[in-house]
Amino acid sequence: MATATAEPRSVPTTEGDGHKHKKNALSDGQGRLAWILLAPTLLVILVVAGIPVAMSIREAFFQTNTGVDPNTGMIAGGEIFVGLQNFTDIFRGQNPVVGNYGTMDRFWNAFLNTTFLTIVCVIIETILGVAMALIMAKAFRGRGIVRAGILVPWAIPTIVSALMWKLIFDSSGVMNRIIGREILWLADTGASFWAIVIADTWKTAAFIGLLTLAGLQTIPAEVYEAAKVDGATTWQQFVRITLPMVKPTLVVAVLFRTLDTLRMFDLPYGMIGAGKYRVETLSIFAYQEATQERYGPAAAYAIILFLYVLLVAFLFVKILGADVIGDADVPKKKKKRKGDQEPAGPPATGLEMAGGAH
């Protein structure tokens, strides 16, 4: 496993003796072949993602027409262009609900739920995940069993795990029996928020641990030996060696978890239900609007969520240097130096590309 993950990272070594990678036998003048091979994939992505997203953006500027047709006197049906109204309605507060943060528009309530759920879940998951990875890295035997155990929460369908936690958090369920109190976890109370956090953490903390472990295993033992010789304490080793060296892996893992949590749907829907304002996420809100044929507002909320996700991803790449692409073959956008002059720099290609792409 360790080698499997280490491999792609060590690919850039060919970059050191620059001439070699230019002479890749398969790559000379085969840009056309590449595009032919990629065409099916790109076409599918265009059809199943590109076009629907474009349609969704268009949809966000329309509303279902419920007015009366002046000629026939029937309900007009169809759709009418409303400009930015679906977006500006968010600020009108026409749909106040009571959530965790007092009375506010349903959109903002969902927005805050999504944000706080993501922040709380990701922080807890990261801490637990890193702790797990450190423990697993120390062990000599039994790693296989732990890895198998860790994959169990990952393999369970989210909706099944939601129902499982629903039983655990039932008012007369086992959680209340353990803590010896009668908390109404599922009744759309403040406790519901924490029930979701616990369930989500359970399903994914171990996963972060697994990814972090892969990163830990690429750190050479010599580094620690050198630090020990220099008299570094365990804590210093952790802060000065482990964290910086595992950071590229960890940042990517945390980024993926963050994006996943931002679009959370199954867990609150299955555990607490739809239309429960204490745990309603943007995905649930948009889903509800869409299924009630309020397509325009639904599209507007979904687009806002999409932009939110893009912004978070962008910040991760810009500020934390998440190297999501990590492809040494992607040429740097600036100047192309002669191969042998090129320093074998860190794999920061993804970062560079992001700067260009957005």
Residue numbers 101-120 binding other proteins by CB under 8 A: none
- When binding is defined by CB under 8 A, the residue of 12, 99, 209, 268 that contacts other proteins is 209
| 291 binds other proteins, rule: CB under 8 A | yes
Q: Of residues 162-201, which lie at the interface with other proteins (CB under 8 A)?
A: 163-168, 170, 172-174, 177
Q: How many CB atoms lie within 10 A of CB 5?
A: 15
- Is 37 exposed, middle or buried (CB count within 10 Å of its CB: 0-12, 13-18, 19+)? exposed
| 40 binds other proteins, rule: CB under 8 A | yes
Q: Of residues 6-25, which lie at the interface with other proteins (CB under 8 A)?
A: 7-9, 11, 24-25
- Give helix 51-59 / helix 295-315 axis angle, nearest 10°: 120
| 38 binds other proteins, rule: CB under 8 A | yes
| 49 binds other proteins, rule: CB under 8 A | yes
| 211 binds other proteins, rule: CB under 8 A | yes
- Give helix 190-216 / helix 2-10 axis angle, nearest 10°: 70
Give the binding range for other proteins (CB under 8 A) out of 92-100, 101-109, 219-227, 329-337: 329-337
Q: To the nearest whole angstrom, how small is the minimum distance from the Cβ of residue 103 to other proteins?
A: 25
- When binding is defined by CB under 8 A, the residue of 34, 123, 187, 243 that contacts other proteins is 34
Q: Of residues 253-282, which lie at the interface with other proteins (CB under 8 A)?
A: 253, 256, 259, 262-263, 265-266, 269-270, 282
Give the binding range for other proteins (CB under 8 A) out of 39-47, 91-99, 221-229, 334-342: 39-47
| 127 binds other proteins, rule: CB under 8 A | no
| 157 binds other proteins, rule: CB under 8 A | yes
- Enter the tokens of residue 323: 């190297």
| 52 binds other proteins, rule: CB under 8 A | yes
